[in-house]
Chain A
Amino acid sequence: MAGSQGKSLDRKKLLGDPIMVATIVLLITFLTLFILYPLAILLVDSFVGDGSFGISVFQRIFRIATFKTAIGNTLKIGMVVGILSTMIGLLFAYVEVYVKMGKFSGGLFKTISLLPVVSPPFVLSLSMIMLFGKAGLITRFLLKIYDNSVYGYWGIVIVQTLTFFPVCYMMLKGLLKNIDPSLEEAARDMGASRMKVFTSVTLPLLLPGLGNAFLVTFIESIADFANPMIIGGSYDTLATTIYLQITGAYDKAGAAAMAVVLLCITMGMFAVQKYYLEAKTSATLTGKASRGRTLIEDKSVRLPLTILCSMVAMFVILMYICVPIGACFPTWGFKFFPLTGKWFKLIFTRYRGFKAFKDSFVLSLISAPITALLSMIISYLVVKRKFRGKGFIELVSMLAMAVPGTVLGVGYIRGYAGGIFHTGFLQGLYGTGTILVIVFIVRSLPTGTRSGISALRQIDKSIEESAYDMGANSFKVFTTVTLPLIKDSFLSGFVTSFVRSITAISAVILLVTPKFLLITVQINEFAEKGSYGIACAFATLLIIITFGSVLLMDFITARLGTSKKIKEDQ
């Protein structure tokens, strides 16, 4: 066969590099065991769960009325949240890129862009209830409405939209910046009004990007567990239904089948997003803007847009501020003064707060460096090396992005509670801290890998080749060249994965045993019970931790980062 000698030589060269081979084998084992296998076992369970092979489990769950409603609910919410988030995100992105902004609104925008990184998932649900619920600060005390209900459809839609639109904003901002201003200037020059330019030039160019943003949000929304759990009330979504099926009805096969349904939806969306829209986006918006854009200074455009955005931004920020304030009120909704530190004291004296923080902190701190290192290794292999199995590694680590936490959680229960394929092998893993750490790693791996890949793509391939040529083996190349060059990306991967882990809930809530207390699970529990003071106190401390980590990261990158140093030298 043509080309076969080259391939066999490549293989021989690879085998002559034991560290590299070991790394690849380990990686493939890890990905198979902890991403592929749990999903595979869900499929197995849902087809043979009731004893014999067939679709009886699916027939059974589709007879459950609440499950059918949940599918409808989930898709409806995903749709609405996707559209709203994309629209608000587009507004923010447009204003930032096209409109001249003052210092104040610029600061607001920066804060908004930071929020999705540092925010624990249910913070907005908590403050939504506290501001607009039955005993809400705004509804009850400002507007004197005594029976307002935020639970249910609208609650979830508002909270999810406010949670996810910053992600759309950041995505679309990047795209808008890539549009060459001369395209729009040409249209203006031809006699198009500003509105016409937007609808006939900017929008069509952006269309695939908008679709992309919509689908990403859609996936996030239907995978979201924490918000529907707290603010959903009796309005069930797939994620919460699966959770209740396994924790309430103890129907593990049913939960597995439901998880498969949810997984199919997210995977389908992910496939469209990844292979169709992403390619299209980069095809229409490849070129870099040739020069700066003349910002719109016209007051009739500028004022309404900035005011609108600033109001949305301030509202979101207000909702965040509401949490620490809520933690200081003696009784939310009844007694506001004097402010008190009693909830903070209580969580440490009565509710084992120290243990919760210690457990969450330690487990996240263990998983963060592993995740960061793993994602850097994966990115290095994917971007810089050729070998068989590379496609597998890339696909599976990206696939994890489309797996909702709840699905992964059920997969781990089914996959490890009775050992691998219910044989008892590796059974010891279940219920340990190790499996929690592994879940944390798997949940953060895709983001880390993505940032690692884009960082590595910017590094000239020949730099590593030159080291290799000088006599460094793969391990040496990675440690002396690759890693030092992507220090920033490694550091941000470390912090992001730490923050994601310490704020994670959807998968771990299914896997955590009484041996471990996790902050997020505690917050969920107290919020469910209506003990908002305690939930807020926990959440406040959590926000401080996450925000502190991000600030620390910025500080360290600014001081030690490679990119900074190189920039200064030039």
Chain B
Amino acid sequence: MLSFILRRLVIAIPTIILISVFVFTLQKLLPGDPVLAMAGEERDPQVLEFLREKYRLNDPIPVQYFTWIGNALTGDLGISLRTNQPVLELIGEKLPVTIQLATMAMIFAMVIGIPAGIFSAVKKGTVTDYVANVVALSGLSIPNFWLGIMLILLVSVKWKLLPASGYVPLSEDPLRSITVMLMPAFVLGTALAATLMRHTRSAMLSVMSSDYVRTARAKGLVERKVILKHAFRNALTPIVTLTALLFGELIAGAVLTEQIFTIPGFGKLVVDAVFNRDYAVVQGIVLVTAVGFIFMNLLADVAYVLLNPRLRKQ
């Protein structure tokens, strides 16, 4: 087992190096000078030159890369060109925000999507099924930003039920933190709920037509038990896999939602960093994300091996 993990880790190293080189190069290909972008209206050539020196932007690109990756190995991802804050600190500050948003959105998506999928599979071909499908399709097609703004206008401005935007840390005031994030989580969750609903429906449909479900019915079980205990349990496996996959997508999708609801999360951090050509921040984020993904994959691989001894030999 240990040798398996080690082997996987060794394979992960070149991947991380490749990603880091890729991101670094891509950034340098972006048009626009970070120092100029940062200067805005105040372009004192002397200061611009000093900053280029300070952030080593005058070094050849390979030298810049090795300086950066060397520092990164010691846990120093540099400082933000814009606010002078350390990049690692920024990431540590923003990541939990987005994870909270994504988790709440996932809960919304599951609570809405899965029951709707089951329902629509069971009532296949009826009006209920069509209505559920239309709703799901709308959920997929309504743009996030539009839904977000409409909700703000309705729920916050008209009914004054929820705050229009912003963020309160979970640690500061848990209830308020969740309250503030209800709307954004719902907006982010809707598209996902639709995807989940469609997948649940098709998984349920294929299971419902299988032999053991017919057997269960023949045994004289009540329909509710047939659906929930026999069919749904087996349909669940692909849904769970999909849900796990979609979580990563949620974090990416949070970018837009965070912009609308002014949530100081990971997505907003990366978008602002790209626009400001805040290289250190963009690189730091991509590196951390890449390492995170590789680590999650490794965990999944380990889990598969634990579940399936046949894989260990390969």
Q: Do A and B come together as binding partners?
A: no
